[in-house]
């Protein structure tokens, strides 16, 4: 059973986005303004990390593969990002349009249950259009980061290590494919990401808060999805990884809603298939 503190956090998030229409532009920058600022980030790693967290409306822990000693000692968070993997697929939007799609699958923080003494994780899948590029140019930037990792020194060192243990090129290739699936995991801690956000996007943070607002990029993304892509309560619930029965989409519904209703990415994905200029 999920703890009261987790339910409180989830209920807080739902309440926040019920009021998304009234959020001030000081707290949530306009879509065009925000994307322009991110596109001007010079450091490729910083820019890619921000795009990834934003596009998936992730909590920071859901893309990070590292927890610093203090957070670990005080059980503040876990490295859910170790579960983040990617693949591509084709989505048939209509009779004339097939969209090359990037799928990101990861464990959702605050949805873990304990069954027979072992943690049981809940996973969500985020879909982003790759081709045509006019829908979401940043999806292509994520794949360029994957390519950069694959030809980088870390991957080459890993490949040589595998080759020393196995002479079969097919086995080596399969092993490298599995490691490449994890190329969007970032081996940095949450305080490091907060520093990056302050450095690159500090001008957007509310003046009343000099530190980085908790999961600010997640807040911005979900607000943009509501305001610019017409996501409804069910769409936002599925995208964010919330439970259906406990929040906006399940108000007044049975507590068994999550047991019998499963909302996949295909239900909301068509709403992202419009040129970015139209979303502005």
Alpha-carbon distance of 8 to 58, in angstroms, equals 18
Question: 175 in a domain, yes or no?
Answer: no
Mean pLDDT over the full length of the chain: 83
CB 232 within 8 A of CB 268: no
Mean pLDDT, residues 30-55: 97
Q: Please give the C-alpha separations between residue 279 and each of 36, 78, 224, 230, in angstroms, as whole numbers.
A: 14, 35, 9, 10
Question: 202 in a domain, yes or no?
Answer: yes
**Please, which residues have CB within 8 angstroms of residue 92's CB and are 6 or more apart in sequence?**
98, 99
Report the chain's terminal Cα–Cα distance, integer Å: 41
Question: 163 in a domain, yes or no?
Answer: no
Out of 5-9, 11-15, 187-191, give the one with best mean pLDDT: 187-191
Is residue 68 classed as helix, strand or coil in its secondary structure?
A: coil
Alpha-carbon distance of 191 to 68, in angstroms, equals 9
Q: Which of 7-16, 190-199, 270-279 has the lowest mean pLDDT?
A: 7-16
Question: 177 in a domain, yes or no?
Answer: no
Question: 168 in a domain, yes or no?
Answer: no
Q: In the chain, where do the E strands start and end?
A: 85-92, 98-107, 113-115, 118-120, 123-131
**pLDDT score for 254:** 46
Range of the domain at 136: 4-150+185-279
Question: 129 in a domain, yes or no?
Answer: yes
Domains identified in the chain, total number: 1
**Please, which residues have CB within 8 angstroms of residue 183's CB and are 6 or more apart in sequence?**
86, 145, 146, 149, 150
Number of C-beta neighbours around residue 56 at 10 A:
25
pLDDT tens by residue, 256-265: 555 545 668 9
pLDDT above 90 coverage of the chain, percent: 47
Q: Which of 10-24, 159-173, 255-269 has the lowest mean pLDDT?
A: 10-24
pLDDT tens by residue, 94-143: 989 999 999 999 999 887 777 888 888 889 999 999 998 999 999 999 99
Alpha-carbon distance of 10 to 29, in angstroms, equals 23
Q: Does the pLDDT of residue 75 top 90, yes or no?
A: no
Question: 134 in a domain, yes or no?
Answer: yes
Rg (CA), the chain: 19
**More confidently predicted of 173 and 75:** 173
Question: 176 in a domain, yes or no?
Answer: no
Question: Would you state the structure tokens that stand for residue 195, as one six-digit string?
Answer: 């520093």
């Amino acid at each position: 059973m999920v703890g009261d503190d987790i339910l409180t956090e989830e209920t807080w998030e739902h309440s926040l986005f019920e009021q998304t229409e009234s959020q001030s532009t000081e707290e949530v920058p306009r879509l065009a303004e925000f994307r322009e600022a991110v596109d001007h980030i010079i450091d490729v790693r910083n820019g890619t990390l921000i795009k990834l967290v934003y596009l998936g409306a992730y909590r920071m822990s859901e893309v990070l593969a590292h927890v610093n000693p203090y957070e670990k000692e005080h059980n503040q968070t876990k490295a859910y990002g170790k579960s983040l993997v990617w693949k591509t697929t084709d989505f048939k939007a209509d009779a004339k349009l097939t969209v090359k799609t990037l799928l990101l699958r990861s464990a959702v923080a605050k949805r873990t249950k304990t069954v027979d003494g072992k943690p049981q994780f809940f996973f969500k899948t985020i879909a982003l259009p790759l081709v045509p590029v006019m829908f979401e140019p940043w999806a292509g930037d994520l794949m360029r980061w994957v390519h950069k990792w694959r030809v980088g020194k870390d991957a080459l060192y890993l490949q040589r290590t595998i080759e020393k243990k196995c002479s079969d090129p097919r086995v080596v290739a399969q092993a490298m494919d599995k490691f490449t699936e994890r190329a969007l995991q970032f081996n940095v801690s949450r305080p490091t990401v907060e520093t990056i956000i302050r450095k690159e996007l500090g001008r957007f943070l509310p003046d009343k808060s000099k530190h980085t607002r908790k999961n600010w990029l997640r807040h911005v993304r979900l607000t943009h999805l509501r305001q610019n892509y017409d996501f409804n309560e069910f769409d936002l619930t599925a995208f964010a990884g919330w439970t259906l029965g406990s929040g906006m989409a399940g108000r007044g519904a049975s507590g068994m809603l999550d047991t019998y209703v499963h909302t996949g990415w295909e239900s909301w994905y068509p709403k992202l298939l419009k040129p970015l200029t139209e979303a502005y």
